[in-house]
Amino acid sequence: MERKKLYNILSLISNVLIIIGVVWSVVFYFYHDDGSGNMLAKGAQCFRFFTIDSNILVAISCAIYLYFNILRCMGKEIQTPLWVKVFRYVAVNSVAVTFFVVLFFLAPMVVITQGLSPWYLYEDNCIILHALAPLLAMLCVILFEKEDRIEKKYTYFSFTTVTIYGIIYFICVVFAKVWPDFYSFTFDGRYYLSPIAAICVFGMAYLGSELVYWLQKVCIDKLPENN
């Protein structure tokens, strides 16, 4: 089997698994129950979390990509539109932000401020939303969808989701006060320290985007298209 066909099948499988995992995690834990782990919310309240929003965004990108996966499995030679590739990259980088922020910012924070185990952030459905779905999405783009690599200039669109969410979060937490500071980005009301959180988040967004883009290039250079 040609590698290109194999990659398409693996992409299809990955996309299906991500969709199933995200839908199950959101519907079962937030619409059937009150959430789990560090994300306790009922129904639509779960959409306050960037974790949920980013995972749903990547699931939507998976659903769009499935259309092209299926067409290619049927033997049709079809090019992925630029807007789909850019949207895909933005969505994947959004869950990459979730993955890296949880791993390098929030996990240490719960240890330092609450004395909890960092594994607290990976309980129940959180293991899917904080780790498995983001990792599988990044792996899919890096290995299986490398033929849809975008130009470098389009990677900077990946900052849009973080920027939009950051503005909404700041308004709802600081001004409207309708959300608690569940990400501890104001450090318990120490607003003068908030820029530190912003630098960390945007820094991880940048590094995550660069890492995915670099690893994708490495795979393109190292892995041949055919056996």
Domain range annotation of the chain: 3-222
35 pairs with which residues across the strands? 40
Separation CA 79–CA 81 (nearest Å): 6
pLDDT of residue 1: 56
pLDDT of residue 70: 95
Q: Which residues contact 166 (CB under 8 A, 6 or more apart)?
A: 198, 201
Amino acid at 50: F
Q: Copy the structure tokens of residue 40.
A: 């306790």
Cα–Cα nearest to 183, from 7, 54, 33, 14: 54
Cα–Cα nearest to 56, from 86, 87, 18, 93: 18
Q: Are 105 and 200 in contact (CB under 8 A)?
A: yes
227 residues of the chain, pLDDT tens digit each: 588 889 999 999 999 999 999 999 999 999 988 888 778 889 999 999 999 999 999 999 999 999 999 999 998 989 999 999 999 999 999 999 999 989 988 888 788 877 778 888 898 899 999 999 999 999 999 999 988 999 999 999 999 999 999 999 989 988 898 988 888 777 767 777 778 888 888 988 999 999 999 999 998 877 655 44
pLDDT of residue 223: 63
Separation CA 49–CA 102 (nearest Å): 12
pLDDT of residue 86: 96
pLDDT of residue 119: 86
- Distance of alpha carbon 154 from its chain centroid, rounded? 17
Q: Are 37 and 117 in contact (CB under 8 A)?
A: no
Helix crossing, 159-170 with 194-222: angle to 10°?
A: 160
